[in-house]
Amino acid sequence: MTQADRTPPVFESGQRLTAAALNSLAQSVARIIDRMQGTQVIQPLDLSGKLAGNLAKATSFSTTPGTATVNIWGKDTNGNMIDTGRTETVVNRMEHIEGFTGDIVYCRWMDGEWRLVSLDCGG
Phi, psi of 37, deg, nearest 5: -110, -20
Supply the CATH classification number for the domain 47-120: 2.40.50
Instruction: Indicate yes or no: pTM above 0.85.
Output: no
What amino acid occupies position 22?
A: L
CA-to-CA distance for 17 and 11, rounded, in angstroms? 9
Give the pLDDT band (50/70/90) at residue 36: confident
> Distance (Å, rounded) from C-alpha 51 to C-alpha 87?
10
Q: How many CB atoms lie within 10 A of CB 15?
A: 9
**What is the per-residue pLDDT across 44-94, written as a single tens digit (0 to 9) for each?**
789 999 999 999 999 999 999 999 999 999 999 999 999 999 999 999 999
